[in-house]
Amino acid sequence: MFNAEEWSALSTLILADNDSFRSVVRSNCRRIGFGAVEDATTGTEAINMLMVKFYSVLIVQREMKNGGVKFIDLLRQNASRIAGGDRLPVVVIANAGATPEMIFEAADAGANYLIQLPVSAKGLMKGLHIAITQPGVFASRAQAVRQIVA
């Protein structure tokens, strides 16, 4: 796990169209100690921010109006246009009651972790740390479970 100094060297962009959702994630990120916490309310706004600035990790609300996972899919297809390209770690936050299918869908779109509400600083720290340091683990775990289901 990162220490306080390491977290402070990281930046995050939060993409969510729900005010309270942004508020809870933003405050958790600040308490964790991110050096910069910024947010966007639409996919277009997020893309514009990602084109001009590098972020250590992107956090996306799954249940936003036009679909958080659909946004990640588009982001991965246009990786050459953003700072950090296809290596930008992406964490999805879903409403409570997330299913394995939601995990498969997020992994297929190129997400690097999924957390469901309620979100705590502890859970967010774990998900963000894995997405940043072991970006392939989420897809591997999803694939392993998909084989069990099949």
Q: What angle, rounded to 10 degrees, do the helices at 19-32 and 121-133 form? A: 80
Q: Which of 21, 72, 90, 110 binds another protein (CB under 8 A)?
A: 21
DSSP state, residue 75: H
Report in angstroms how near the CB of residue 42 gets to another protein at its nearest. 20
Peptide bond preceding 135: is omega within 30 degrees of 0, i.e. cis? Answer: no
Instruction: Please name which of 49, 42, 47, 54 lies closest in space to residue 15, comparing C-alpha atoms.
Output: 42
The residue ranges of DSSP E strands in 108-149, in sequence order, are 113-116
* Helix, coil or strand: residue 12: strand
> Does residue 103 belong to the site contacting another protein (CB under 8 A)?
yes
Q: Which of 114, 132, 135, 139 binds another protein (CB under 8 A)?
A: 114
**Could you give the string, one character per residue 24-63, with x where binding to another protein holds by CB under 8 A and - elsewhere?**
x--xx--xxx------------------------------
Q: Would you tell me which residues interact with another protein (CB under 8 A)? A: 1-4, 7, 18-21, 23-24, 27-28, 31-33, 95-96, 98-100, 102-103, 113-123, 125-127, 129, 138, 141, 144-145, 147-149
